């Protein structure tokens, strides 16, 4: 094992992956399109500021988003892409004072968000001891991805993000297999499964792969989800009351915020119990 492999995993804060809305020009509230739904009360096209966005780039209804029909805003996480685009890529020049940059800034934001999301997972995989054999490749991918985030707007827009995602995802999959292999017993593989509204109360899903599974409104009360891979699983309105997610990995706070749960739900380290549970 090389010396480099013994370096501690970089934290999400160290990599600036924690969103800091105070340093962002409200990009998620302008750049992204939304269709009126139970998650977002009105139609909004990409590039048009949300009607609730204030002049100081803060949300005018931040404290009452759920009550006002904007619950989708409470479960969105840019992984720090907003402040990176605002303060690094565009050097602190906001789209109101420099409207000529607006279109490009809004186009760069979703690219940066994808890169930051990959950095988030790579950093998490580097902190998984059972994935140690994959750590050198993960670290190289993290360094490459970090370098890509520091490109110019033109360079960022020219990136083949899907190809880069595929490369990183292959590594994350290898890390996941290592971690799950260390769990005793048979592990379920429900990758990409359609489990919409599934009755999984008390299900034995320890060490399972639920990568990209649709678990919308699934009943996961009391389920054993220890050391389960939950990357990209859609947990909107899933009921995690009393479920055990200890050691679950590639689960983000945004996924958790979109689910339901209670005081008995056991969470993976680093995630916090949503205020609405």
What is the binding site for ligand SF4 (CB under 6 A)?
29, 50, 52-53, 59, 61, 70, 73
Measured from the CB of residue 56, what is the shortest distance to ligand SF4 in angstroms?
A: 11
- Choose between 49 and 202: whose C-beta lies nearer to ligand SF4: 49
User: CA nearest 149: which of 119, 169, 120?
Assistant: 119
The four Cα atoms 13, 15, 21, 26 give a dihedral, to 10 degrees, of -160
- Choose between 59 and 78: whose C-beta lies nearer to ligand SF4: 59
Distance of alpha carbon 29 from alpha carbon 32, whole angstroms:
7
Distance of alpha carbon 233 from alpha carbon 226, whole angstroms:
15
Cβ neighbours around 130 below 10 Å, total: 17
Measured from the CB of residue 240, what is the shortest distance to ligand SF4 in angstroms?
A: 24
- Choose between 62 and 150: whose C-beta lies nearer to ligand SF4: 62
- Choose between 53 and 128: whose C-beta lies nearer to ligand SF4: 53
Measured from the CB of residue 53, what is the shortest distance to ligand SF4 in angstroms?
A: 4
In DSSP terms, 204 is beta-bridged to 224
146 burial via Cβ count (<10 Å: 0-12, 13-18, 19+): middle
Strands, DSSP E only, in 193-276? Answer: none
Distance of alpha carbon 261 from alpha carbon 240, whole angstroms:
5
Q: Up-side HSE of residue 25: CA atoms within 13 Å toward CB?
A: 25
- Choose between 31 and 134: whose C-beta lies nearer to ligand SF4: 31
- Choose between 78 and 205: whose C-beta lies nearer to ligand SF4: 78
Measured from the CB of residue 77, what is the shortest distance to ligand SF4 in angstroms?
A: 12
Distance of alpha carbon 142 from alpha carbon 119, whole angstroms:
6
CA-derived radius of gyration, the chain: 19
Measured from the CB of residue 91, what is the shortest distance to ligand SF4 in angstroms?
A: 23
- Choose between 61 and 102: whose C-beta lies nearer to ligand SF4: 61
Distance of alpha carbon 111 from alpha carbon 84, whole angstroms:
11
Measured from the CB of residue 218, what is the shortest distance to ligand SF4 in angstroms?
A: 26
> Interior CA angle at 59 toward 113 and 106, to 5°?
35
Measured from the CB of residue 21, what is the shortest distance to ligand SF4 in angstroms?
A: 9
Is-contact 237 219, C-beta < 8 A? Answer: no
Measured from the CB of residue 44, what is the shortest distance to ligand SF4 in angstroms?
A: 7
- Choose between 61 and 173: whose C-beta lies nearer to ligand SF4: 61
């Amino acid at each position: 094992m090389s010396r480099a492999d013994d370096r501690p995993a970089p934290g999400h804060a160290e990599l600036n992956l924690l969103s800091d809305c105070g340093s962002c020009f409200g990009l998620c509230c302008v750049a992204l399109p939304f269709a009126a739904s139970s998650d977002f009360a009105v139609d909004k096209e990409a590039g048009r500021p949300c009607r609730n966005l204030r002049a100081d780039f803060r949300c005018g209804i931040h404290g009452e988003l759920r009550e006002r029909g904007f619950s989708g805003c409470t479960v969105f996480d840019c992984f720090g892409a907003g402040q990176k685009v605002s303060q690094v890529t565009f050097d602190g020049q906001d789209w109101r004072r420099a409207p000529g940059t607006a279109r490009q800034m809004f186009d760069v934001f979703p690219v940066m968000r994808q890169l930051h999301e990959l950095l988030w997972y790579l950093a998490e995989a580097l902190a998984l001891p059972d994935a140690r054999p994959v750590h050198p490749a993960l670290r190289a991918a993290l360094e490459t991805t970090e370098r890509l985030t520091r490109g110019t707007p033109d360079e960022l827009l020219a990136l083949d993000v899907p190809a880069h995602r595929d490369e990183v995802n292959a590594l994350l999959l290898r890390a996941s297999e290592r971690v799950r292999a260390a769990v005793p017993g048979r592990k379920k593989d429900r990758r990409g499964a359609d489990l919409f509204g599934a009755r999984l109360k008390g299900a034995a899903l320890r060490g399972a792969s639920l990568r990209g599974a649709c678990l919308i409104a699934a009943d996961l009360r009391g389920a054993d989800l220890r050391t389960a891979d939950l990357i990209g699983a859609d947990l909107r309105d899933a009921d995690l009351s009393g479920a055990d997610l200890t050691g679950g990995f590639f689960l983000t706070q945004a996924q958790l915020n979109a689910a339901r749960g209670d005081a008995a739900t056991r969470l993976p380290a680093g995630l916090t119990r949503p205020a609405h549970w």
